């Protein structure tokens, strides 16, 4: 009997121990489901499309991880901003991968956005191309785009930006030329939580999410290098008329400064005069006047596209056959380049700038920490179009022509 009682006690104790162990495992499994060790997300799945960037932002690269771990920090897609990333438009990759960013953020989230585009003007092909590119991205990714042109009126542009706030736009891409006049509005909207990305440099005293930048000084210097080499190859000195814009614009001034500073380094390059006007007719008049008085002028440099066309017209009217160089190009300038009427253009690609601005704005809306200054890829801002390669530019910039 005693042996049976002992065995019964042992069996009872063993059964109790197994029950206790089973309960312990169950508690451990339940606690692991909610302790953040790999399956919990910063926001619920219902928040993944929210416009504060917390949900769509959680896709910032972490959704591709095989480890299952979740980074509690802000999303980061900076790996998509790289010289080797993005499509090649003929002169190398554009330096960022917009398609992949949209995929990571979630196409449904991106398609729910409302983006405002504020342009200083629509007075030339570059701005028209820029507006068309932004509309194209809206159609491609499904988000709403509204484009407004200020027609070179800073008060109007300030009002345009404020109207985007009242229309509850999620973010803004802007090309602001007269930054001093519009800067207060940009700061106000930034402080109100609306991210703005400007397509060109913005002074430090203006608060803004980000701005694109490229070396405008370097553009002028690069063209001075080119025309000095051409003059050497032709066996003659270059006597230059610079045709500038009378409205003060920092980026144009930088191009002029870079050009003149580099010209001083060459003994065969001489800047004869700098003339300005704020209209095509006015610019043509001062060009004809200056070239008539200075018959030795054989070269024209223009820091913007209208000056190149003016230089060609003045040269033709005077039978001068001057060599023309400049920055920026619409289709007409590129056609003149192909005909040998213009000899070198440093082209700013509206398509690449628009893509990079949108890429940067989406990262801001995604809740990412983005550098204030985003540099455009050198191959698309420092590449010079010539008669030999202009078809690459025509084909990519004006595919419907």
Structure-block tokens of residue 176: 């602001």
Q: Extract the runs of DSSP E, i.e. beta strands, from 176-237.
A: 196-198, 210-213
- Measured CA to CA, the distance from residue 137 to residue 117 in angstroms comes to 12
- Measured CA to CA, the distance from residue 234 to residue 12 in angstroms comes to 107
End-to-end CA distance of the chain: 107
Neighbours of 65 (CB within 10 A): 11
Give me the pLDDT at residue 401, please. Answer: 67
Q: Which domains does the chain have, with CATH numbers?
A: 81-214+350-370 (3.40.50.2300), 216-346 (3.40.50.2300)
In order of 21, 57, 58, 74, the CA distances from 35 in angstroms are 21, 22, 18, 20
- Measured CA to CA, the distance from residue 334 to residue 386 in angstroms comes to 9
**Closest by Cα among 137, 204, 143, 211 to 174:** 211
Burial of 256 (0-12, 13-18, 19+ CB in 10 A): buried
- The structure's pTM equals 0.77
Q: Extract the runs of DSSP E, i.e. beta strands, from 92-230.
A: 114-119, 144-149, 171-175, 196-198, 210-213
In order of 161, 220, 299, 305, 340, the CA distances from 308 in angstroms are 32, 14, 11, 5, 13
81/305: higher pLDDT: 81
Q: Which helix (H) or strand (E) holds 239?
A: strand 238-245
Give me the pLDDT at residue 247, please. Answer: 66
Give me the pLDDT at residue 47, please. Answer: 34
Which range (19-28, 192-201, 348-357) has the least confidence?
A: 19-28
Rama region for 54: left / alpha / beta (φ>0; ψ in -120 to 50; rest)? alpha
- Measured CA to CA, the distance from residue 230 to residue 106 in angstroms comes to 51
Checking DSSP bridges between strand 344-346 and strand 384-385, what pairing results, if any? antiparallel
pLDDT tens-digit readout, 124-177: 778 898 999 999 999 999 999 999 999 989 999 999 999 999 999 999 999 987
Question: 73 pLDDT exceeds 80?
Answer: no
In the chain, % of residues over pLDDT 90: 65
Neighbours of 292 (CB within 10 A): 13
Question: 361 pLDDT exceeds 80?
Answer: yes
Residue 214 — pLDDT band, cuts 50, 70, 90?
A: very high
Give me the pLDDT at residue 65, please. Answer: 37
């Amino acid at each position: 009997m005693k042996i049976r009682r002992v065995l019964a006690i042992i069996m009872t104790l063993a059964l109790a121990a197994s029950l206790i162990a089973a309960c312990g495992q169950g508690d451990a499994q339940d606690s692991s489901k909610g302790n953040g060790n790999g399956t919990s997300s910063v926001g619920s799945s219902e928040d993944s499309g929210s416009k504060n960037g917390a949900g769509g932002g959680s896709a910032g690269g972490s959704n591709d991880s095989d480890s299952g771990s979740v980074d509690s920090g802000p999303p980061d897609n900076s790996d998509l901003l790289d010289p080797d990333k993005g499509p090649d438009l003929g002169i190398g990759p554009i330096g960022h991968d917009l398609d992949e960013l949209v995929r990571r953020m979630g196409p449904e989230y991106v398609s729910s956005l409302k983006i405002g585009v504020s342009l200083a003007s629509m007075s030339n092909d570059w701005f028209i191309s820029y507006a068309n590119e932004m509309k194209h991205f809206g159609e491609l990714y499904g988000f709403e785009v509204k484009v407004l042109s200020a027609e070179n009126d800073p008060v109007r542009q300030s009002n345009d930006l404020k109207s985007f706030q009242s229309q509850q736009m999620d973010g803004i891409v802007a090309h602001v030329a007269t930054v001093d006049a519009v800067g207060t509005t940009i700061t106000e909207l930034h402080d109100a939580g609306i991210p703005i990305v400007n397509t060109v440099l913005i002074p430090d005293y203006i608060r803004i999410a980000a701005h694109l930048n490229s070396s405008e000084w370097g553009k002028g210097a690069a063209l001075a290098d080119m025309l000095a080499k051409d003059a050497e190859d032709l066996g003659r000195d270059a006597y230059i008329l610079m045709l500038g814009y009378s409205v003060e614009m920092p980026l144009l001034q930088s191009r002029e400064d870079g050009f003149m500073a580099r010209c001083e380094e060459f003994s065969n390059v001489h800047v004869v005069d700098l003339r300005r006007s704020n209209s095509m007719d006015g610019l043509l008049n001062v060009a004809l006047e200056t070239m008539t008085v200075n018959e030795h002028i054989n070269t024209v440099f223009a820091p913007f596209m209208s000056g190149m066309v003016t230089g060609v017209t003045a040269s033709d009217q005077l039978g001068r056959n001057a060599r023309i160089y400049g920055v920026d190009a619409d289709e007409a300038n590129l056609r003149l380049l192909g005909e040998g009427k213009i000899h070198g253009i440093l082209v700013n690609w509206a398509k690449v700038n628009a893509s990079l601005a949108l890429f940067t704005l989406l990262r801001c809306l995604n809740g990412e920490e983005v550098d204030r200054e985003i540099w455009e890829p050198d191959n698309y801002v420092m590449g010079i179009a010539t008669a030999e390669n202009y078809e690459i530019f025509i084909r990519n910039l004006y595919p419907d022509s």
